[in-house]
Structure 1
Amino acid sequence: MDLDRQTVSSGSPLEPRIGFSRAVRKGPYVAVAGTAPIGDDGTTVGQGDVYAQTVRCLDIAEAALTAAGAALADVVRTRVMLTDASRWEEAARAHGERFAAIRPACTFVEVAGFVDRDWLVEVELDAIVECS
C-alpha cells in the first residue's frame, strides 16, 4: 500500500463501478478527474445551461481539492470539455469567476459527448500543493 497516495471520493455511484477516484493526491500533486454537473440527488444540474453546469463542475472539483488538502490557488492546469465549442464563453465566464486571479494553464476542447447526454461540460483540474 502506498502511504503517500490519497484518494478522494465525491460519492458518485460511477466511481466504484468504473474504478476511479474523484481526485488523487500523490505528494504535492493533485489530479481531479473529469467532473460532471451531477447534483447531490444524482440528476444533472442546469439542464441545457452550460454556465450552470460549469459552476456545478467547479463546485465538485473544488470540494475534491479541499478534501485532498489543496485549494483553487494551487491549481496549475484546467481542462474544460464541451459538447458544443460554440458555447465556450458560457463556460469561460464560470471559469473566470474562479480563476481570474490564479490564471492556470487552461484548455477548452469540444468532445463528441459524455456518459450522460444531458451533460454539456466536464472539468478536470491539476494542482501542485506547496510543501512547507
Structure 2
Amino acid sequence: MSRQNVSSGSPLEPQIGFSWAVRIGSHVAVAGTAPIADGGGTAGVSDVAAQTRRCLEIGLEALAEAGAGARDVIRSRIMLTDISRWKEAAEVHGEVFGDIRPVCTFVEVSGFINPEWLVETELDAVMSEEEQ
C-alpha cells in the first residue's frame, strides 16, 4: 500500500519528524491538533468550546487533504488541560460528530507546548471503498 504524508507547512514538521496527517490505504490518522488561529497565534484564548471547534476544523481540513471527511472518522481524542471543562468540548464534538458517532476519548493532560492551548484533538478515519 502506498503512503501519503500530508503536510501543514509547519516548520516543526521536519524538525520533529512528523506529518499533519498520514494516509495508508483507506486509513487516515491526523496528528495532535492545536487551536491555531488562521493568522497564527491561538484561537479562542480561554474558551474551551472555541478551541475545540478550531481544532476539529483543522483536523477535518487535514482529512480532506488526504481524501477523507467527517463521515469517515472512527475515533477522536480530546485532550484537555482541565478535565472539569469536558462538557464544553463535548458539546462541540457533538455538533460535529453527533450523527457520525465515532468512538471518543476525553483525557486530561498537564499541558501543551503553548500554555494558551486548553485543548488538542486527534482524529482517525477509515475511508469507504467508494472514496478510495
TM over 0.5: yes
The question of 1:17 aligning with 2:15 is answered yes
What amino acid is aligned across from residue 102 of structure 2 in structure 1? P
Matching of residues 47-58 of structure 1 within 5 Å: 47-58=45-56
Matching of residues 1-132 of structure 1 within 5 Å: 4-132=2-130
Structure 2 unmatched runs, 5+:
none
- Between the two proteins, the alignment pairs up a number of residues equal to 130
Runs of 4+ off more than 3 Å:
none
What amino acid is aligned across from residue 48 of structure 1 in structure 2? S
In structure 1, how many angstroms separate the alpha carbons of the residues matched to 2:73 and 2:118? Answer: 23
In structure 2, how many angstroms separate the alpha carbons of the residues matched to 1:64 and 1:110? Answer: 24
In structure 2, how many angstroms separate the alpha carbons of the residues matched to 1:23 and 1:41? Answer: 21
Structure 1 unmatched runs, 5+:
none
Identity %: 64
In structure 2, how many angstroms separate the alpha carbons of the residues matched to 1:116 and 1:24? Answer: 24
What amino acid is aligned across from residue 14 of structure 2 in structure 1? P
In structure 2, how many angstroms separate the alpha carbons of the residues matched to 1:92 and 1:83? Answer: 14
8 Å contact from structure 1 (residues 50, 87) kept in 2 = yes
8 Å contact from structure 1 (residues 10, 60) kept in 2 = no
